[in-house]
Amino acid sequence: MASEDECDILISSDWDWSKEVLGEPASKSNSRRLVRVRGIPRVIKSEKAIKYKKLFLSQVSEDDPIEGDVELGVVVWYATRRPDLDVSLIMDLLQETGVIVNDRQIKVIKAYHQIDKENPRSFIGVRKLLED
């Protein structure tokens, strides 16, 4: 787990876009389940991932996406130590909400796992990388 100082430095950095999003993100690797639709097996998102996506979409919407290569900074405060630190669902949702054009733009990731039993949330910052 990162120190509070490391997280404070990341949060106070100069980001092109940043937001604190309430809720605990699901680990994408653990957020799939197998169901049958008309007898055909399908892999769909877990209930936790679906709930987090709805919560995220209710808090984030952008009309002017950041283009070009970017750095992503994330501090996730989980309710317990149990979840893996996994920001891939957040990356997908940044694309879906129009913060970035495509999650392939993310070339640098700084992510920290913290605990807040009372208030699970994420700080998310996106910064355009300097072009060569």
Q: Stretch 82-86: mean pLDDT, rounded?
A: 92
Q: What's the confidence (pLDDT) of residue 34? A: 61
Judge whether residue 68 has pLDDT over 60. yes
Judge whether residue 130 has pLDDT over 60. yes
Given the structure tokens 């129009």, which residue do they identify?
98
Q: What's the confidence (pLDDT) of residue 97? A: 97
Judge whether residue 53 has pLDDT over 70. yes
The more confident residue out of 27 and 2 is 27
> For the chain, which domains are there?
4-128 (3.30.1330.70)
Are 11 and 75 in contact by the 8 Å Cβ rule? The answer is yes
Q: What's the confidence (pLDDT) of residue 35? A: 59
Confidence of residue 39 (pLDDT cuts 50, 70, 90): confident
Sign (positive or negative) of CA dihedral 115, 62, 128, 107 = positive
Q: What's the confidence (pLDDT) of residue 59? A: 97
Judge whether residue 66 has pLDDT over 80. yes
Confidence of residue 32 (pLDDT cuts 50, 70, 90): low
Q: Which of 34, 1, 43, 18 is nearest to 127 (CA)?
A: 18
Q: What's the confidence (pLDDT) of residue 3? A: 78
Are 103 and 1 in contact by the 8 Å Cβ rule? The answer is no
Q: Stretch 47-54: mean pLDDT, rounded?
A: 90
